[in-house]
Amino acid sequence: MTTMDHLAEQTKLERLLQVDEGSLGFVAEQEVQATRAFRQQLSEFYYQRHQDAFHRLAGLSKLLPISASAKLAMNLLGPVLAAGIACELPKDRAAKLAGRLPTDFLAKLSLYLEPSRAGAIIAAVDEDHIVEVARHLIAQQEFITLASFVTVISESTLRRIIQQVGNDGLSLLKVGFYVEEKTALNNVVTLLSEQQRRALFLAADEHSLWPAVLSLLPYLNDTLQGEMSNLAAEGEEQARDKLVRAVAQQGDWYPLLLSWTRMSQENLESSIRLPALHEEALLRECMAQLEKHNLQQALPNFTELLTEEQQALLA
C-alpha cells in the first residue's frame, strides 16, 4: 500500500536527482525506510565525490576577505557549489559569509545544503537572516527544503517562521509532510495557533489532502493527537465525510482509527455516524480495519455508538 510517507520519499528522491516531480512513481512502491536510506547514501556519495574540491575551494575562500568570498560565491561559484563549500568552512567563517550574502542567494543555496552537515553553521547564522531566507523559501514553495531545516533551527526561529506562514494551511501541511525527523512534528504542531490548525484542515479538505494530514497524526504525542483529533471532529460534516471516503479510497485506515481513540466521546459519536459509514461496504471495511489494527479495545463501546441503521447493516 502506498502511504503519504512513500510519496514524500519519492518526491525527495526526485528532488535530489533533479528530475520532474512524479517521474519516478515506481519508487513509491518500495519500502519507505529503504528509499530513505538509498536517498541518504546517494546524497553522501555525491557530496564525497567533490568533498576534496569543496575543501580546496574553502581553503581559497579563507585566503580572501569575507566580501571577496561573498562575491566569489555569488558571481562565480553559484548556489550549488557554495553550499558544498560552506560545509567545509569553519562554522564562524561560514556564518559571517552567510551574513554577507543576499537572502535570495542564500535561499537558493539552502536548496542544496545538507542539514545533517550544515546544522552547526545554521545555528551560527543570525536569526533574522534565517527567517528572511525562510520567507523566500515559502514564497517559492520550497517546502522540502523548509522542512529539512525544522530539526536544525532553534525553537524561537521556528516560531517566527511559522508565524510568517500565517494561515496558509496548504504550506503548513506540506512542511509537515516533508519533515525528515517526524518526531519534530511535535514542536511544529505545538507552535501552531488554533487558527493555523483549522487552516490545515481546511486546506486538506479544499485540496483533497486528508490522507496527508492524517498520515502525520501517529507521529504526534498523545496530547497533540487528542487536540488535533477533536479539532478535526468539530469541522463540517461534509468535510469529515469526505475525509472518511478519502481514507477508504487510499486504504490507510490506521491514522483515522487512531484519531477516533483520541477524541472525546461526543466527537467519536458524530465521527462514526457520518453518511459514508452508513454504506455497508465502507462500514464493514472500517470494522475489519479496527480488528486488523487491534483497536477494538481502545474503542470498547464502538458498536453501541453506531446508529440502528448501521447496526442493521452489520447484522
Residues that bind other proteins (CB under 8 A): 16-19, 24, 26-27, 30, 34-35, 37-38, 41-42, 45-46, 49-50, 53, 56-57, 59-60, 64, 68, 71-72, 75-78, 80-81, 84
What's the grid cell of residue 290?
Answer: 479496527
Between the alpha carbon of residue 74 and those of residues 78, 84, 268, the distances in Å are 5, 14, 56
Q: How far apart are CA 94 and CA 66, in angstroms?
A: 10
For other proteins, the closer CB: 81 or 212: 81
Smallest distance from other proteins to CB 84, Å: 8
Nearer to other proteins, 26 or 194 (CB): 26
Contact partners, residue 45, CB within 8 Å, separation at least 6: none
Q: Give the nearest distance from C-beta 22 to other proteins in angstroms.
A: 13
Q: HSE on the CB side for 28, CA within 13 Å?
A: 17
**Cβ closest to other proteins, residue 56 vs residue 292:** 56
Amino acid at residue number 120: A
* CB of 35 or CB of 148, closer to other proteins: 35
Least CB distance to other proteins at residue 120 (A) = 23
Minimal distance in Å, beta carbon 55 to other proteins?
A: 10
Minimum CB distance to other proteins, residue 204 (Å): 31
Which CB, 9 or 227, lies closer to other proteins? 9
**In the structure grid, which three cell numbers stand for residue 311, read together?**
447496526
Q: Which is nearer to other proteins, 49 or 297 (CB)?
A: 49
232-239: long-range contacts, CB 8 A cutoff, minimum separation 24: 232/201, 232/259, 233/259, 233/263, 233/264, 233/267, 233/268, 233/270, 233/271, 234/267, 235/201, 235/205, 237/270, 237/274, 237/275, 239/201, 239/205
Q: Among 180, 116, 169, which residue's Cα sits nearest to residue 147?
A: 180
- Min separation Cβ 16 and other proteins, Å: 8
What is the rounded distance in angstroms from the CA atom of residue 296 to the CA atom of residue 268?
A: 14
Beta carbon nearer to other proteins, 87 or 282: 87
Q: Which of 250, 239, 167 is nearest to 212 (CA)?
A: 250
Backbone angles phi, psi at 76, to 5 degrees: -115, -40
Position 21, amino acid: E
State in angstroms the smallest separation of the CB of 17 from other proteins.
5
Nearer to other proteins, 81 or 137 (CB): 81
> CB of 59: closest distance to other proteins in angstroms?
6
